[in-house]
Amino acid sequence: MFDYLLQLVLRYRREFSPELLSSKLLDQDSFYPAFMKDLGNCRSEVIIESPFITKRRLNQLMPMLRRLKERNVSIIVNTRDPYEHDEEGRHDEARSAVIGLQRLGAQVLYTGGHHRKLIIVDRKILYEGSLNVLSQNSSSEIMRRTESTQLAWQMIEFVGLAEYF
Tell me what the mean pLDDT of segment 53-60 comes to. Answer: 88
Tell me what the mean pLDDT of segment 40-51 comes to. Answer: 95
Residue 16 confidence (pLDDT) above 80: no
Domains of the chain and any CATH numbers: 25-164 (3.30.870.10)
Tell me what the mean pLDDT of segment 33-61 comes to. Answer: 93
Pairwise CA distance, residues 42 & 120, whole Å:
10
Categorize the per-residue pLDDT at 92 as very low, low, confident or very high, splitting at 50, 70 and 90: confident
Residue 23 confidence (pLDDT) above 80: yes
pLDDT in tens, 133-148: 888 788 788 999 999 9
Helix (H) or strand (E) holding 39: helix 28-41
pLDDT in tens, 93-124: 888 888 999 999 999 998 887 789 999 999 99
pLDDT of residue 135: 80
4 CB contacts (<8 Å, ≥6 apart)?
A: none
Categorize the per-residue pLDDT at 15 as very low, low, confident or very high, splitting at 50, 70 and 90: low
pLDDT of residue 6: 55
Beta bridge partners of 49: 78, 118
DSSP 8-state assignment for residue 85: S
pTM of the model: 0.84
Pairwise CA distance, residues 74 & 42, whole Å:
10
